[in-house]
Chain A
Amino acid sequence: MRDPSIEFLKGTLDLMILKTLSWAPAHGYGIARWIEHCTGDVLQVEEGSLYPALHKLEERGFIAAEWGVSDNNRRAKFYRLTAAGKKQLVTSRDYWARFTLAVTKVLETAPAGI
């Protein structure tokens, strides 16, 4: 959890939130659990980053919030992806794919003659 490489990935939190919400609207806790679930609990989403990130995404108009009722009958704030958010998700995902591919190439290429 305090692994520096995981810290480095924090910038990708926005992308993961958008992707999570592309399946269905969810509340903050649901988003955190989904990400933890997908990564087999490798990524522990920090609350200290998650909620500010959600509010910032809402401010930028990528996601919208609405109060609803959770499956255990509690009042919860549900986030859903807006049209702008969908576009942003496509862009970010492309960028991410190219970025990881580039990093991977660096990691896998050895200089000739060694």
Chain B
Amino acid sequence: MKERYLRFFGPRAEADVDDELRFHFDMRVRDYMARGMSEPDARAAVVLRLGDVQRVRDECVAITHRRERQTTRAQLLDALVQDVRFAFRTLGRQKGWTAVAVLTLALGIGANTAVYSVVSNLVLHPLPYPDANRLVLPFLEPSEGNSTGIRVSVSPSPIDVKAWIGARSFERVQAVLENDVTVERRGQAAWALHAAYVQPAFPAFAGRQPIAGRMFTDAEVASREPVALLSEGVWRARFGSDTSVLGSVVTIDDKAHTIIGVLPSSLRPPRLGRAPADIWLPLEITPDKYGMAVIGRLRPGVTSVDAARELDSLSARAATAAGAKAPPRFRARLNSPADMVSFKESLVMLSGAVALVLLIACANVAHLLLSRSATRGRELAIRAALGAGSARLSRQLLTESLVLSGAGCVGGVLVGWLGLRAVVALRPESLEALRMAELDASALWASVALSVVTGIAFGLFAAIQSARQSTHESLKAGALSTSTARSHQRLRSLLVVSEMALSTTLLVAASLLIRSVVHLQTTDPGFEPTGLYSIKPGLPEKRYPNEATRRAFYEQMAERALRLPGVQGVTIAAGAPPGFSFLIGALHIEGEEAPKPHTTSLIRYNGVGPDYFRTMGMRLVAGATFSDSTGKAPELVVNEGFAAKHWPGQSAVGKRVKVIRYDGSGTWSAVVGVVGDAATGGLTDQRSSPVLYVPRADYDNLPNVILRTGPRFAGLPALRGIVTSIDARLPPATTTNIQSAMAATAAGPRFIMALLVAFTVLALALAAVGLYGVMSYGVAQRTREIGIRIALGATRGAIARGIVFSALTLAAAGALLGLGGAWWATKLLDQMLYGVPRTDPASFVAGGVVLLGTALLASVVPMNRAAAVDPIIAMRAD
């Protein structure tokens, strides 16, 4: 054993081998001499006999080195295993402490992993295509822009798309049209599938290729070959992954198609949050194909401004070629894929909030490690006295921190996975894109890294602290020396103040969102949604080809609806709540400057029947509603917002407005009435945005029938029945309970609010635990002092007040910092608030008050403990 030890640190392997061989040589010589040789002869004979000694030596040295390396490795591994085992044992002894630490880390890491997974999937990598940072989705917007405050994207016309395909700013441009189709297979019931019509290069554009069969070719598209590719999902679910399906024929929308391949389920159409495509069909860009989505990959170095300019000039040229005299009334706008996520700002805000939660969690773990190193002072001192080196002890403490972080990470993955599943499962309809969220490894690693760094940093800090104090002093004092304790306590107070500050910021943000959602749900929408229903039949163009046939159908529908039991009123309108309808054109207000020719903007309008306002329960503010039920009179009704914008301080009734339509036509109409502002676009609608009501529903786009019902109304099935009673071959009509649909429009903001409130509660709970820990530790440290003060006549009330006072001092300092932080941080919230300014004083007061209340609660137990100190026991201790 001694030899091993020596070899390990002292003599080198080479010397050993040399010694061994020299001994052998000398012995051989002695042997030869004993047989009668002279010494020189014996030496010569042995040299001859031994041959190439150098080779033997090298070989032996190499073997020895190899063995030493293995031994070192084994010893290190052994020490590590020992450390880890020891760490588990020590942590297991303090189950409560360990549980709190691991749970804290798990919650912090889990919440972050879940939220950053969503951000990563929806904001950072919304489309799983290669070179995603150069992807843009071109849309159209009116040439005068969009002043309605509502996000509207106008799909390019087929002429535009055709012109854009060859744009030089892009490496490639792809058009995709999505549609629901009916697929029939011989002997089976028809399936309703979601189809994506694409160009042959689309899978390659998206970095995918067929997993079976092949993609269709340009030639097949040009010759209108009826071919189709299945999605992997449908192939597996409906065809049992059978490759013999290739070449078979299915009927898609009454037309036989040959299945030629299968595309992977990872291939997605470039729209976020939509259902994945079930079947892929060839897209031929013909003039009737409205509603195509366009996606392009910019050439490296091309800006989206340049690209938009090129698209505009291509559109202009195509329009001229198509015989248009006027220049296009639209301009291209390039969205990045992440722009398509309407709640991007909310996600950014939530990721900020959850980062604060992780910071608080890390601060708490730091607390826990510090308080542990304090109570373990004696144990470490004894181990040092027994000969454990300070390096060994530090390594042990570090191993413990890492084991702790490791356990926290495992818990965090679990919490994150569950949390993400919950968020995706509970998503409201308006946040449909959330379904794309999957657990993201990079998000997980970021959180893990932060918590491991915290563990190491504070584990190391504790190790250095304990190494610094002398063994003797520790053994004597039993715990940390006074100066170390004081520096610990300062650091811990600092940590608590930061936790309080971060919690306050979150509290203010949560209060703001809560007030905003309350405002959304309690403010009068300007009409009466209770008992309001709408129905929209799907009239096929083939059988209802013109306005007359459609109008006849609608009038019959309205008449039958009015005869249903419980129906009090019926009207027909282009747009029914919750929803927007727009007119793309220009407004000429009499007395104001005429709009520039060939310009367009987005105008909120609704084409309504004469009974619309009464049926909706809207308030008539001035004038009257439409006088003429035929809708032929040149009359207009505006809302208060419109009147206030164009004729502030004047009566709007009698004013004249010319609506210049998309095709340039327009007539002067007089305003006959002003109605109250109404949130017809949903609860999040900007109520006062100007709206124009024209006295006729437009039958080019199918309007809605709106019903005002009373208590005896039989419900939606009865409503659907009237459509089939008129024409039994029609598909089921779209029906809406306006009251519940309106409530659902607040679901998105409410969901975001609920998430923020959850994170805030978590943050506050962690901060309270932190404060509780610091106060308890402080009381434990000062037990003797408190005992002396009580013995000297201090009342228990005074002692208790002192403890609460110091807790509230920490909390108040944190609250002040946090309120300052909130003043700045609520900028992130600005776009998410409805009816509440981001500097809302009530929310700031609420944030501060809740924090102080929590701090008070957290200090109750330490306060009671301090007040209950028995002076005799306290002074006898230690």
Contact = CB atoms under 8 A, between A and B. Distances in A.
Contacts of A28: 20, 23-24
Contact of A58 (B28, B31, B51, B67): B67
A8 interface: no
B56 A52 contact: yes
B26 interface: yes
A16 B91 CA distance: 53
Of residues B27, B30, B49, B59, which shows the largest number of chain A Cβ atoms within 10 Å of its Cβ? B27
Interface string B7-36: 000000000110111011011101100000
Contacts of A76: 20, 23
Contact of B23 (A33, A46, A70): A70
Contacts of B49: 47
A99 B611 CA distance: 111
A56 interface: yes
A66 B6 CA distance: 11
B73 to A, nearest CB: 14
A82 B611 CA distance: 105
A102 to B, nearest CB: 32
Contacts of A59: 63, 66-67
B60 interface: yes
Contact of A77 (B20, B31, B51, B63): B20
A29 interface: yes
Interface string B567-602: 000000000000000000000000000000000000
Contacts of B50: 47-48
Contact of B56 (A47, A56, A72): A47
Given A29-B24, A48-B56, A65-B3, A55 B19 contact: no
Interface string B50-72: 11110110011001101100000
Interface string A34-62: 00000000000011100110011011000
Which of A51, A58, A75, A76 is most buried by chain B, counting CB atoms within 10 A of its CB?
A51
B55 A51 contact: no
Contacts of B30: 72
A51 to B, nearest CB: 5
Contacts of B23: 27-29, 70, 74-77
Contact of B59 (A27, A52, A65, A67): A52
A72 B34 CA distance: 14
A51 B52 contact: no
A29 B19 CA distance: 12
Contacts of B28: 29
B52 A48 contact: yes
Contacts of A33: 31
Contacts of A65: 3
Contacts, number: 62
Nearest to A28: B24
Interface in A1-40: 27-29, 32-33
Contacts of A58: 63, 67
A77 B16 contact: yes
A111 B815 CA distance: 106
Interface string A71-86: 0101111000000000
Contacts of B60: 51-52, 55
B323 to A, nearest CB: 91
Interface centre among B19, B30, B59, B63 (most CB of A within 10 A): B63
Given A48-B51, A48-B55, A77-B16, A56 B24 contact: no
Contacts of A32: 24
B28 to A, nearest CB: 7
Interface core residue of A27, A29, A46, A72 (most chain B CB under 10 Å): A29
Contacts of A51: 17, 20-21, 24, 56, 59-60
Nearest to B30: A72
Interface string B758-797: 0000000000000000000000000000000000000000
A74 B31 CA distance: 15
Nearest to B26: A74
B31 to A, nearest CB: 8
Nearest to A33: B31
Nearest to B21: A51
Contacts of B26: 74
A91 to B, nearest CB: 22
A21 B28 CA distance: 20
B383 to A, nearest CB: 33
Given A48-B56, A75-B19, A29 B67 contact: no
Interface in A76-107: 76-77
Contacts of B52: 48
Nearest to B51: A48
Nearest to A66: B3
Q: Which of A48, A56, A74 has the most CB of B within 10 A?
A: A48
A87 B19 CA distance: 30
Nearest to A55: B63
Interface in B776-829: none
Contacts of A29: 23-24, 27-28
Contacts of B24: 28-29, 32, 47, 51
Nearest to A32: B24
Contact of B19 (A48, A52, A66, A77): A77
A66 B66 CA distance: 18
Nearest to B24: A29
A51 B30 CA distance: 19
Nearest to B58: A52
Nearest to A77: B20
Contacts of B31: 33
Nearest to B49: A47
B64 A55 contact: yes
A82 B351 CA distance: 63
Contacts of B17: 51
Contacts of B64: 55
B728 to A, nearest CB: 90
Contact of B3 (A27, A67, A70, A72): A67
A94 B753 CA distance: 80
Nearest to A27: B23
Contacts of B59: 51-52, 55
A32 B3 CA distance: 23
Contacts of A56: 63
A58 B59 CA distance: 14
5 contacts: A47-B51, A48-B50, A51-B17, A51-B20, A58-B63
Given A51-B21, A55-B67, 7 more contacts: A47-B56, A52-B60, A52-B63, A55-B63, A59-B63, A74-B26, A77-B19
Which 5 pairs of residues, A with B, have the shortest CB-CB distance?
A: A55-B63, A29-B27, A52-B59, A59-B67, A29-B24
